[in-house]
Structure 1
């Protein structure tokens, strides 16, 4: 039996699309888990939908309304102006990829992000115009975030950004909204969350 997840397996995964009303975050990283649970005490719209442990490594899944997400807030404040500002991909030789037709449909215009204790870099890939705009604006003001790639699939743009793990702000990422919860929680049982077995996670 595995006693705990490795650094590589202790990851955080974010996912949403233009067709979704919610952003889903799965994490086995203790700092992220702690930050999201603390934020849930301030914002009653954050729901911890599942939680459990894989050996001695805790994990949880959260659901957050996309209207409560601040993509620019994902990057900590401060930093210096970047030495080079990326020009819009239309003017910087962005790759144009064919094969999807004239555009990517709403349920495929997704934003996904991943990091882990091993990588210590948050990588964000997105087809969502509002997310691209927010992150590009942040990249113009701070060297803490870098746009590393971009392309067009028909008329739909895709871009990839990188943020150093130490510069990611999980509390700033979610807007402060709503009334505080009357009772906080410290375990999956108190939160009404569903605990999954190691076998269930292996099968996922």
Structure 2
């Protein structure tokens, strides 16, 4: 008996459903990234998800009469490694002219691309329930947790600013009589 993950090569309706599902999953994540004005947006996530689904469907269709979990496993491993290169390109950017060091940006975008690939694999395997749950949870992580992260960052920043300001009581040496000065610094007498 064939597993529900394996397809017959002439099952066009099921194949089309899985590929469209992959495009939908990628669109949900990609649209969120696009609205946040990230470099990897709608089309990138849709194509990563779609490509992963196509690669996943290949061993499912070619081994339809004799299911082979090893070929599917190797395909999934290859997708995971390959998408890592795309994510690496998203993370590392050249330094700006102002800074002479490399800067790291885009970790969340790279992770979103990685999740898009996983969702494409899920869609290619026909596990639409898992895909729907995963895409909703991913959307929540990208939106809800960003707000929580900002709140925590602002709270932490306020606490650090409060403790880092030193209150020096005024003395006769550091009081200026000029009210037009921007700061109260008086150079030491020579």
Structures share a fold, TM > 0.5? no
Determine which structure has greater relative contact order: mean sequence separation of CA pairs < 8 Å that are 6+ residues apart, divided by chain length.
1
Higher helix share: 2
Larger Rg: 2
Higher strand share: 1
Q: TM-score range by the shorter chain?
A: under 0.3
